[in-house]
Structure 1
């Protein structure tokens, strides 16, 4: 039982370190979108939104989602986004997209106006920055 706790604590510490690593690794010349995770597994990093950051810093799948949400006339649900990004509307694809939407919301790229309904995050009213290069 003690070994399980120690292993769990070690894994959590490694994951926390991997989340903090993108900026340091970007300075070291590695691609900031791919951060080495423990045991050689690569993970896709979604950076937190900050002033001056454009959508091109996001991995392709996340960028597509943000651009679709930005172009929509109102809030969108995951099931509405899936066919627009070229995926089959299966439960697995919808849930995977919902996870990406939640991650984008947590990192400040999107807002969830109502449960499951996503819009572009309001950062001083400058929605045009999403598609700027």
Structure 2
């Protein structure tokens, strides 16, 4: 039979171990909480900075959009700033309309893509376009980035995409060199 002193010592040791484990958990959770608070702070600062940038972009383009940058997304993104690179929140690739000149409204890299299609005269896959514009076809991330640009051109009416993944130039797309 175990004496009461031995049992008390055993229980004290077990309680001491539990206290030590709980203190370790508290320290770990405190560290995690600090990291999460820092992340939240950085994100809040980023949101405030982006709101300032969008407000300045509104003022420089003369937009009378809503004061809340979160409400600016649809109206601002559907506008094109002619003759300049887009500030954050504005659309770089406008919806194609009949008679639009690609060179006048599209950024240079998008114009280069359309020239490749105009010169080819037939449909191309993203990897083929990448090779023509000087992107290494072995760099999958850059080819996928180009594919995103091609899909953006499709969404805005500058290119067509076949179900097989072949892209073709839309008739009368206003490409320089047509």
What is the TM-score with the length of structure 2 in the denominator?
0.53
- Does residue 45 of the first structure (1) align with residue 92 of the second (2)? yes
Deviation of the 1:116 alpha carbon: 1.5
Counterpart CA distance in 1 for 2:166 and 2:70 is 31
CA contact (8 A) 1:32 1:45 kept: no
- Does residue 14 of the first structure (1) align with residue 63 of the second (2)? no
- Does residue 131 of the first structure (1) align with residue 176 of the second (2)? yes
Counterpart CA distance in 2 for 1:67 and 1:19 is 25
CA contact (8 A) 1:70 1:119 kept: no
Could you say which structure has the higher strand fraction?
A: 1
> Which of 80, 90, 94 is residue 143 of structure 2 equivalent to?
94
Query: What residue in structure 2 maps to residue 109 of structure 1?
Result: 158
Q: Provide the aligned C-alpha RMSD in A.
A: 2.6
- Does residue 121 of the first structure (1) align with residue 170 of the second (2)? yes
**More RCO (CA 8 Å, sep 6+):** 1
Distance 1:19 1:84, change over 3 A: same
Deviation of the 1:87 alpha carbon: 1.4
Could you say which structure has the higher helix fraction?
A: 2
Query: What residue in structure 2 maps to residue 34 of structure 1?
Result: 86
Deviation of the 1:15 alpha carbon: 2.2
Counterpart CA distance in 2 for 1:12 and 1:77 is 36
What is the TM-score with the length of structure 1 in the denominator?
0.69
Aligned length: 110
Give the greater-gyration-radius structure (CA): 2
CA contact (8 A) 1:21 1:35 kept: no
- Does residue 85 of the first structure (1) align with residue 170 of the second (2)? no
Distance 1:54 1:91, change over 3 A: same
For structure 2, the residue ranges without an aligned partner over 5 or more in a row are: 1-46, 48-67
Question: SS at 1:119's partner residue?
Answer: strand
Question: SS at 1:111's partner residue?
Answer: strand
After the TM superposition, which parts of structure 1 deviate over 6 Å for at least 4 consecutive aligned residues?
none
Distance 1:96 1:11, change over 3 A: farther
